[in-house]
Amino acid sequence: MISSDRQNLTPCSDLQVVVLMGGLGTRLKEYTKETPKPLVDVGGKPFFDYELMLLVHYGFRRFLFLTGYREDMIRKHYGDGSDLGISISYCSDGEELLGTGGAVRRAWDLLEDDFIVVYSDSFMDIDYEETVFRYLKGKEEGKRALMTVLRNNNRFDKSNVVLKDGEILLYDKKNMTGEMEYIDYGVCVYEKSLFEDYEYGVKFDIADLQNRLSLEEKLAAHVVNKRFYEIGSPAALAEFREYITERLEKKHGAVFLDRDGVLDEIVFNEDIEQLDAPLSLSEFKLFGHASKALKLIMDKGYYLFIATNQPGAAKGKAKLLTLYDINNEMVRGFKEEGIEIEAVYSCIHYPKRLPYLKEGFAGSFERFLIQPCDCRKPREGLIRRPQDIYNIDYDNSYMVGDSITDIQAGSAAGVKTAFLGDLKCDACKKLCDISPDMIVKDLLDFAEKLEPYRG
pLDDT at res. 95: 74
CA distances from 373 to 126, 170, 214, 311 (A): 22, 39, 37, 12
Q: Do 11-240 and 250-449 share a fold? A: no
**Is the per-residue pLDDT at 158 higher than 90?**
no
What whole-number percentage of the chain has pLDDT above 70?
Answer: 94
Query: Could you read off the pLDDT of 109-139 as tens digits, one per residue?
Result: 999 999 999 999 999 999 999 999 999 999 9
pLDDT at res. 313: 96
pLDDT at res. 430: 62
**Is the per-residue pLDDT at 154 higher than 60?**
yes
- Cβ(417)–Cβ(443) under 8 Å? no
**Is the per-residue pLDDT at 324 higher than 60?**
yes
Of 18-22, 358-362, 433-437, the range with the lowest mean pLDDT is 358-362
Q: How confident is the model at residue 1 (pLDDT cuts 50, 70, 90)?
A: very low
**Is the per-residue pLDDT at 294 higher than 70?**
yes
Query: Could you read off the pLDDT of 347-384 as tens digits, one per residue?
Result: 999 999 998 888 888 888 999 999 999 999 999 999 99
pLDDT at res. 273: 60
**Is the per-residue pLDDT at 385 higher than 90?**
yes
Active site amino acids: 258, 260
Separation CA 375–CA 410 (nearest Å): 12
Phi (first) and psi of residue 184, to 5 degrees: -65, 135
Q: How confident is the model at residue 346 (pLDDT cuts 50, 70, 90)?
A: very high
Q: How confident is the model at residue 455 (pLDDT cuts 50, 70, 90)?
A: confident
**Is the per-residue pLDDT at 428 higher than 70?**
no
The residues spanned by each domain of the chain are 11-240, 250-449
**Is the per-residue pLDDT at 29 higher than 70?**
yes
pLDDT at res. 31: 75
Q: How confident is the model at residue 66 (pLDDT cuts 50, 70, 90)?
A: very high
Residues 6+ apart with CB under 8 A from 53: 2, 388, 389
pLDDT at res. 361: 82
**Is the per-residue pLDDT at 2 higher than 60?**
no
The mean of the pLDDT values for the chain is 93
Of 55-59, 126-130, 184-188, 433-437, the range with the lowest mean pLDDT is 433-437
Query: Could you read off the pLDDT of 223-262 as tens digits, one per residue?
Result: 999 999 999 899 999 999 999 999 999 999 999 999 999 9
CA-nearest of 60, 187, 193 to 134 is: 187
Q: What is the 3 state secondary structure string of the chain?
A: CCCCCCCCCCHHHHCEEEEEECCCCHHHHHHHCCCCHHHCEECCEEHHHHHHHHHHHCCCCEEEEEECCCHHHHHHHHCCCHHHCCEEEEEECCCCCCHHHHHHHHCHHHCCCEEEEEECCEECCCCHHHHHHHHHHHHHCCCCEEEEEEECCCCCCCCCEEEECCEEEEECCCCCCCCCCEEEEEEEEEEHHHHCCCCCCCCCCHHHHHHHHHHCCCEEEEEECCCCEECCCHHHHHHHHHHHHHHHHCCEEEEEECCECCCECCEEECCCCEEECCCCCCCCCECCCHHHHHHHHHHCCEEEEEEEECCCCCCCCCCHHHHHHHHHHHHHHHHHCCCCCCEEEEECCECCCCCCCCCCCCHHHHHHHECCCCCCCCCCHHHHHHHHCCCECHHHCEEEECCHHHHHHHHHHCCEEEEECCCCHHHHHHHCCCCCCEEECCHHHHHHHCCCCCC
Query: Could you read off the pLDDT of 214-224 as tens digits, one per residue?
Result: 999 999 999 99
- What long-range pairs does 191-195 form, CB within 8 A, spacing at least 24? 191/113, 191/114, 191/139, 191/144, 191/145, 192/108, 192/111, 192/112, 192/113, 192/114, 192/115, 193/113, 193/144, 194/144, 194/145, 195/101, 195/104, 195/105, 195/108, 195/111
pLDDT at res. 364: 85
Q: Which of these CATH numbers, 3.40.50.620, 3.30.70.920, 3.40.50.1000, 3.40.50.150, describes 250-449?
A: 3.40.50.1000
Burial class of 242 by CB neighbour count within 10 A (0 to 12, 13 to 18, 19+): exposed
**Is the per-residue pLDDT at 83 higher than 60?**
yes
**Is the per-residue pLDDT at 392 higher than 90?**
yes
**Side chain identity, residue 270:** E
11-240 belongs to CATH 1.10.150.120: no
Query: Could you read off the pLDDT of 192-216 as tens digits, one per residue?
Result: 999 999 999 999 999 999 999 999 9
- Cβ(218)–Cβ(144) under 8 Å? yes
